[in-house]
Amino acid sequence: MPKKNKPEIVLKGIPAASGIAIGTAFLMDQQDFIVPERAIFDDEILVELARFEEAISRTKDEIIKIKEKITAQGGVKDAQIFDAHLLVLEDVMLIEDVEKRIRSEKQSAESVFSRVLKRYAQVFAKIQDDYIKERSADIEDVGRRILKHLMGETRTHDFDQLAGDVIIVAHDISPSDAVTMFDKKIMGFVTDVGGRTAHTAIIAKSLGVPAVLGLKDATLRISNQDQIIVDGRKGVVIINPDEETTELYLKEKEKIAQYEGSVAQMPDAPNETQDGRRILLMANFEMDGEIPAVKKYRAEGIGLYRTEFFYMNRLDLPTEEEQYQAYKKIAEAMSPNPVVIRTLDLGGDKFISSIQLPKEMTPFLGSRAIRLCLEEQDIFKTQLRAILRASSHGNVGMMYPMIAGPGELRAANGILKGVKQRLREKNIPFNENMPVGVMIEVPAAAMTADLLAKECNFFSIGTNDLIQYTLAVDRGNEKMAQFYEPGHPAVLRLIRRTISAAHDANIKVSVCGEMASDPTLAIILLGLGLDSFSMSPSSIPVIKKAVRSIRFSDAQELARQALRLSTGQEVEEFMTSELTKLVPEFYHYHGRAA
């Protein structure tokens, strides 16, 4: 039930995963970090002391900015709580204690600071004084901020402590955090940052729960245990909803349930248009926890196996045998349907502690994906051996991410050729004819698709990155959300060019980005001649219903008309209007109107 002593507050963000959730907020950023012990050498002591000093400085800047923002919004009284936080950062006793222990214990700054923080918390917990307890809370809050700066993307959260179904509220959710969420009781996601293709959106769709991202200050406005409503269709979050609002959304949830029931009634119907055009509907996949969903929604294979998540939340690299067993398991589970394994796609916004990558000003344009694999060939070869060995246990294909042209493709295939030869010499079985494909994710690849098609077996268009690089828009930046237009004419023309080049070379082409799970865009892709779609498993029934509601010839005509339009907004409005005529009940689910 909504709390009656708090006013109802409505926040507007970016709709990232459809649906409605009504429940209790869980502020993820208030949870403890898992801090690994890390010994250091004598010559690293000054480095760790400098890191600790920098973390304090960055935390101070962060708190000052938050205080200034709240003050500017008229919350002078609320802003005063951060004065106490700033005092913590000037606590000489605390700072000197940490610095002394870094020198004497020869441990990393984060491991020493974490232990000191816990010791302070235990001392304060024994003191029966309200003022002291408040100071303890200040220290813990500031401590989490310092640890965040010390650890960056290596931090994870302990989701095993979740009690009951909750709605996760966080500043951001890293890929490492996302990995741990599949088997937890999560009803939805709310974040300060991110957009439609952020990892949080992808994980929400995999779990089949709503998400609203890019809210800017949700973690400041929402408290633990607040009752909130998340409307992933419209990008709305309601804090402390009153009874009337709650009742309204309960009715909307019922409409969504009815729609989901209608699409669930056709699981075994063929994935084809009304005039017989057959389309392959496959699933994007990350880990074992998704296998039940892949089976439940009748995916016809795995169109994208994101292997980098297998490398996360660990201090070492996965061995060849570990990877082989993982790939073999999904290959056997899906056989005879295809499983397309993407080689390691690290860098950009995905990092692991076992590879120390240098800080880059523009990481999405730096050492990532195939570039990183060509640099770190030992890691690349280990994965290639595991994939090749798994290819003897099912219908396995493999594709390279972020290929920019034939040069990189030839370099990767050269390494693959050498790995194959060594497996032959050791009489280790693998599929000699395993299909090898290329992901089309940058404009350079789309513009040279005719050349690439001569040297690979298939294409998979990664629309999330293709849109980002084509439109020069950071897809994880909520401030740029208005410029992230999947239906932009430039994007559609690059996709058309890619599909045409693939078919001219008699190879198949798929889409594995988030465009595949949006019916308004999926129908355009269908009309452009796409052979298969790969998406979050829970999105398959919705796309299936859209595909079965139209003739392929009509989809072709809609695509032709869409390509004549000038902006992404015009394309979306046009397709929304057309699809409302075909599947009117769908828009209860997505919250759109013609």
Catalytic residue list? 199, 512
What counts of helices (H) and strands (E) characterise the chain? 24, 16
| Alpha carbons 25 and 38: distance in angstroms, whole number | 34
Gap between the Cα atoms of 192 and 219, Å rounded: 7
- Measure the CA–CA gap between 318 and 352, rounded to whole angstroms: 12
Q: Which of 14, 361, 440, 12 is nearest to 197 (CA)?
A: 14
- 544: amino acid identity, one letter: K
Give the integer Cα–Cα distance in Å for 495 and 490.
9
Tell me the Cα Rg of the chain: 25
Element (H, E) at 236: strand 236-239
Provide CB contacts within 8 A for 255, sequence distance 6+. Answer: 588
Q: Which residues touch 46 (CB under 8 Å, ≥6 apart)?
A: none
Spatial contact of 297 and 360, defined as CB atoms under 8 Å apart: no
Closest CA to 507 of 470, 557, 461, 462: 461
Angle between helices 519-527 and 568-582 in degrees, nearest 10 = 90
Q: Are 167 and 26 in contact (CB under 8 A)?
A: yes
Q: Return all residues near 460 (Cβ < 8 A) that are at least 6 apart.
A: 303, 304, 340, 399, 437, 438, 439, 440, 509, 510, 511, 512, 534
d(CA 180, CA 161): 12
Identify the three-state secondary structure at position 54: helix
* CA separation, residue 54 to residues 85, 97, 114, 192, 335 (Å): 17, 17, 16, 24, 52
Whole-angstrom Cα distance, residue 251 to residue 231?
Answer: 13
